[in-house]
């Protein structure tokens, strides 16, 4: 994390050196269109994962790092504007969950059975644009600016999305002709309506380049149901049981980045 911080600091200094033309003019409320690439951490105030094997079938983690590539803010008034952005999140746990599911099935059933597990999570590669946990928000932004500092409180709404995968294992009973198939199927939406309150603090480095820090609290409600079916392949008899992830999720995001002023007005 320290390496990431210093790398970003160097990038910022280089950008400061090359970007912007007039460092003496920092008139407030001049910018009309801004873009704001940031990165940071999303920390849980409430947790979704519960320690079950089905946790590994969710392309989700309670704590993720995120990057925001797509962001645009349009000020149509001295103080008021609208903002839309898209954040992509991931974590080490998400990228290793396929292997973790296979290991979990092995350790759960390996004592009595020869286990042949598989899951769709093994085939999920990280999408650098979309990430594993995506969040798109559209909101209203208000701004306070001085010559050097800025504070942008905002409220927004949109969606949070993450994938769910299937899981399966064939269990060949030791010293027996008996074979069971344990399968997990998922049911539930991929997108969850999200509301968020956020504030951006900034320092103007150049006329068109600001350093910023984001603080955001978001809320959404998940409703995922995993159905576990255990079927005796010889007799055809099966047992089903459900595992539901229905929770109110509150996250706190902390991020840093840059604001690039794309268009200055004459207010």
Residues at the site binding another protein, with contacts judged by CB under 8 A = 114, 116, 170, 172, 174-179, 181, 233-234
E strands in 98-166:
113-119, 133-142, 144-145, 149-162
Whichever of 115 and 258 has its CB closer to another protein, that residue is 115
Least separation in angstroms between residue 103's CB and another protein is 18
Whichever of 105 and 150 has its CB closer to another protein, that residue is 105
Whichever of 168 and 244 has its CB closer to another protein, that residue is 168
b/e 111-122 (16+ beta carbons within 10 angstroms → b): eebebebbbbbe
Is residue 186 within 8 Å of 163, Cβ to Cβ? Answer: no
Whichever of 113 and 162 has its CB closer to another protein, that residue is 113
**Residue 227 C-beta-side C-alpha neighbours within 13 Å:** 9
Q: 147 Cβ partners below 8 Å, 6+ apart?
A: 26, 27, 28, 204
Least separation in angstroms between residue 233's CB and another protein is 6
Whichever of 53 and 180 has its CB closer to another protein, that residue is 180
Least separation in angstroms between residue 102's CB and another protein is 16
Whichever of 114 and 193 has its CB closer to another protein, that residue is 114
Least separation in angstroms between residue 6's CB and another protein is 51
- C-alpha 163/C-alpha 58 separation (Å) is 6
Distances (CA, A) of 205 to 70, 75, 134: 22, 20, 30
Least separation in angstroms between residue 239's CB and another protein is 18
Least separation in angstroms between residue 168's CB and another protein is 10
Give the tokens for residue 216. 């955001």
């Amino acid at each position: 994390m320290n390496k990431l911080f210093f790398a970003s600091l160097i990038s910022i200094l280089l950008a400061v050196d090359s970007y912007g033309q007039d460092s003496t003019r920092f008139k407030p409320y001049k910018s009309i269109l801004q873009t704001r690439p940031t990165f940071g951490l999303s920390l849980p105030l409430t947790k979704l994962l519960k320690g079950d094997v089905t946790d590994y079938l969710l392309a989700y983690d309670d704590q993720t790092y995120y990057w925001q590539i797509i962001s645009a803010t349009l000020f149509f008034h001295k103080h008021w504007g609208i903002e839309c952005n898209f954040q992509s999140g991931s974590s080490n746990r998400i990228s290793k969950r396929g292997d973790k599911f296979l290991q979990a099935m092995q350790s759960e059933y390996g004592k009595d059975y020869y286990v042949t597990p598989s899951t769709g999570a093994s085939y999920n590669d990280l999408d650098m644009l979309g990430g594993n946990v995506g969040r798109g928000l559209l909101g209203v932004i208000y701004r306070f600016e001085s010559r050097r500092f800025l504070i942008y409180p905002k409220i927004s709404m949109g969606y949070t999305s993450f994938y769910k995968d299937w899981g399966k294992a064939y269990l060949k009973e030791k010293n027996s002709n008996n074979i069971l198939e344990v399968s997990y199927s998922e049911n539930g939406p991929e997108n969850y309506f999200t509301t968020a309150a956020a504030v951006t603090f900034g320092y103007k480095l150049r006329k068109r380049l600001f350093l910023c820090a984001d603080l955001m609290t978001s809320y959404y409600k998940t409703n995922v149901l995993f159905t576990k079916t255990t079927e005796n392949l010889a007799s055809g008899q099966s047992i089903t049981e459900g595992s539901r992830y229905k929770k109110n999720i509150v996250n706190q995001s902390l991020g840093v980045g840059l604001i690039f002023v794309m268009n200055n007005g004459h207010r």
